[in-house]
């Protein structure tokens, strides 16, 4: 019985760490980063209002697209006792960009200042090309 549980657990772990697909040179690729302290999770949620099956990246056709990401982060308290425990926030950020180019890599960076999240989309030259236009936090 223990071997079966160990085998199932190992199989689940391997499935979660599957490699990313090859980059298609006819598409644009969007990577993710959370440089601010407290950033826990940033993942692709929807592309042009269609739910995605793999939230680790966006790979989009050239042109205009709406990207929605899930951003989980912690807000650290400044007081004694329970006020010092981090609070978790779950937010959805929407970014529109009209000029994705085939073969280009972009970086979507999410950060938070206290309870307020934000996201910026950078091109390969590290220039800001878009910022979030809609934020919806549920926690």
pLDDT at 16 (0 to 100) = 56
Q: What is the pLDDT of residue 17?
A: 67
* Cα separations in angstroms, 84 against 73, 80, 81, 113, 115: 15, 6, 6, 17, 15
Tens-digit pLDDT string for the chain (139 aa)? 444 344 444 444 444 568 888 889 999 999 999 987 888 999 999 999 999 999 999 999 999 999 999 999 998 766 565 566 788 899 999 999 999 999 999 999 999 988 899 999 999 999 999 999 999 998 7
DSSP string covering 70-103, please?
Answer: EEEEEE---SSGGGGSPEEEEEEEEEEEEEE-TT
CA dist 112 and 76 (Å) reads: 11
Please report, to the nearest 10 degrees, the dihedral formed by the alpha carbons of residues 81, 86, 111, 60 taken in order: -170
What's the whole-model pTM score?
0.80
Helix (H) or strand (E) holding 11: helix 2-16
Burial of 47 (0-12, 13-18, 19+ CB in 10 A): middle
Question: Any bridge partners for residue 31, and if so which?
Answer: 107
- Beta-strand pair 105-113/28-33: parallel
């Amino acid at each position: 019985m223990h071997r079966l549980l160990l085998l199932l657990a190992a199989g689940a772990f391997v499935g979660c760490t599957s490699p990313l697909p090859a980059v298609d040179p006819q598409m644009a690729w969007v990577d993710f980063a959370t440089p601010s302290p407290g950033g826990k999770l940033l993942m692709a949620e929807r592309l042009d209002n269609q739910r995605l099956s793999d939230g680790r990246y966006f790979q989009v056709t050239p042109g205009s697209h709406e990207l929605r990401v899930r951003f989980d982060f912690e807000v650290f308290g400044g007081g004694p006792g329970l006020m010092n425990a981090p609070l978790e926030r779950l937010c959805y950020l929407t970014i529109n960009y009209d000029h994705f180019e085939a073969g280009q890599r972009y970086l979507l960076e999410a950060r938070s200042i206290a309870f307020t999240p934000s996201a910026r989309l950078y091109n390969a030259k590290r220039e800001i090309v878009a910022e979030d236009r809609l934020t919806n936090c549920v926690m």
